[in-house]
Amino acid sequence: MKKRKIVRIFYIVLGFISLGLGCVGIVLPIIPTTPFLLLTSFCFVRGSEKFNNWFLNTKIYKKHLENFASSRIMTLHGELILLIFVSLMIFMTMFLVNNLYASICLTILILIKYLYFILRITPVKRSVYKSVVLERERRKVSLESV
């Protein structure tokens, strides 16, 4: 039981670290925002229902991840940055591990990731993305006024 609590604390701490990096990425375009916010969401789901619910109600989540989570759309720019960043992290891991079996598994992971993004995520122009965001906000306001 103590091991489970330690794992949950680890996920919560990692979630806040990735949230911090994601927030820095909002201000500095050098650091990608989306991968860190996705990691935050993943960690909070695993670590704490309370923190997950809190994160899902933040402006950061609503602005940067809500459309992706609900309709699986991203701007082409966002998709490319996410793919490049994650691929670099995986390649760095392959280089550091220097194990044939791990490298094969990580190569398969990269292929699955690219297939997923090509087949399941719809890249849209920034203007279309913004219109989807505005439409979702209008629906939310109309539902809240009822």
pLDDT digits (tens, 9 = 90+) for 106-120: 899 889 888 888 887
What pLDDT, on a 0 to 100 scale, did the predictor assign at position 129?
67
What pLDDT, on a 0 to 100 scale, did the predictor assign at position 28?
77
Query: Is 87:110 a contact under the CB 8 Å cutoff?
Result: yes
Length of the chain in terms of residues written? 146
Q: What is the pTM of this model?
A: 0.60
pLDDT averaged over every residue in the chain: 82
Q: Which residues share a beta bridge with 20?
A: none
What pLDDT, on a 0 to 100 scale, did the predictor assign at position 3?
85
What pLDDT, on a 0 to 100 scale, did the predictor assign at position 112?
86
What pLDDT, on a 0 to 100 scale, did the predictor assign at position 12?
95
| Domain boundaries of the chain, sorted by first residue | 1-64, 71-146
Query: Is 38:65 a contact under the CB 8 Å cutoff?
Result: yes
Residue for token digits 């990691």?
Answer: 39
What pLDDT, on a 0 to 100 scale, did the predictor assign at position 49?
93
Low-confidence ranges of the chain (pLDDT < 50): none
Other Cβ atoms less than 10 A from the Cβ of 110: the count is 16
